Amino acid sequence: MELMVLLNALVTRLLFVLHSLIGVWRVTAVKKEPKYWLLALLNLLLCLETGLTLKFKQGRGYKWFSPAIFLYLICIVPSLWLLEIHHGTQYCGNEPGAVQVNVSNQDFNQSRDSSHGSEGTDHHIIQTAKVFVNQLSTICETVWTLALHQTFLLLLVVGRWLLPIGVEITRDQLSQLLLMFVGTAADILEFASETLDIEDVRKNYALINAILAVWTWSMLQFPLDLAVQHIGCKPSAPARRIPSLLLCRYSAELWNIGVSLFIQDGPFFIVRSILMGHFRIFNQMLVFFTAKNILVVTLQLYRLAVITLDFRATVLQKSRKGEVCCCPCEPYEARAHATGHQENEMKEFVAFPPKEESQAPSEDH
């Protein structure tokens, strides 16, 4: 096993575990009940996945799916749910950052004075660390929750970048996937922060759960790599129907359209429409992002229509010429077999020299 592959696999999963433990710590501090530390047991699933991946895949990823990202979602999402439901119970001043900086500097000076000349540098470092942890605990709850949301989405992108890739995905496909994840993460963060910060939404417990459910549903696209990979289907001759050929040829683009319509922009548009239509909640940002979701959904439907018409024109053109329309992602041998005996003859003509030339050296000999 390569050293860098092993190092990337272990470091990435360690970051996932540490971030999920920070989320569990915040839930325990907010709820003030030690029983919520049981959420940390979910990290055992990630540890088990790490051992199995190192044993059977030599630390590399799987095709189309990332178990490490999926288990990281399982570890951190319950903590974010509890923090959002418990959101807003702690008072936040107008300038919490400035207050925290002043208090922190004062405490650091006190700890340095108390440790000077008594127990040396080690004691001073310990005291400074204790003061730093205490000050982190006093940061406003809403700031903590937003910071966990932001670091969660950033860690998803960075973690997917650091995780070793499998043999089925190339570096070019990974770079495309990461760029897509950056834009997706920004939209998801905007949806969660913009809708949950509305005062009327915070007063409705059922509406908070519905928004968090849609948010969780939108996170399920991160473990999947179908957006940059073709299915590579090999339909047999009797089973080569139009839908299967369309899916085979445009699998990555169809997956992008499906994600936008059914996992991200479509559900986001429904939630925002309900907020404006049923609950009569209006603000400038809500109207803007609703219009943005409508535009994206319309463009995705337009793209689907363009793909369908283009594929239909290709099929009709090949049928008029008497050719068999095969999937472009099939191997060359499968396509040659499907197009009939004429292509096989052409292949043999190109691959082998004429019979007269091949026999001439033997006669001279």
Using pLDDT thresholds of 50, 70 and 90, give the confidence band for residue 307: very high
Of 180, 172, 166, whose CA–CA distance to 260 is shortest? 180
| Spatial separation of the C-alpha atoms in residues 53 and 215, rounded to whole Å | 29
Mean pLDDT for 125-139 is 73
Residue 47: is its pLDDT beyond 90?
Answer: yes
Q: What is the CA radius of gyration of the chain?
A: 29
- Tell me: the pLDDT tens digits for 193-203? 889 988 889 88
| Spatial separation of the C-alpha atoms in residues 306 and 284, rounded to whole Å | 33
Residues 6+ away with beta carbon under 8 Å from 57: 166
Q: Which residues of 347-359 are buried (b: 16+ CB within 10 A; e: fewer)?
A: eeeeeeeeeeeee
Percent of the chain with pLDDT over 90: 41
| Spatial separation of the C-alpha atoms in residues 273 and 231, rounded to whole Å | 35
| Spatial separation of the C-alpha atoms in residues 140 and 212, rounded to whole Å | 21
Distances (CA, A) of 205 to 200, 208, 210, 282: 10, 5, 9, 19
Phi-psi region of 58 (alpha: psi -120 to 50; beta: other; left: phi over 0): left
Residue 215: is its pLDDT beyond 70?
Answer: yes
Q: Is the pTM of this model over 0.85?
A: no
DSSP bridge partners of 224: 65
Q: What is the pLDDT of residue 176?
A: 86
Instruction: Report domain extents, the chain.
Output: 1-89+138-227, 230-323
DSSP bridge partners of 65: 224
- Tell me: the pLDDT tens digits for 57-77? 887 877 778 899 999 999 999
Mean pLDDT for 182-192 is 93
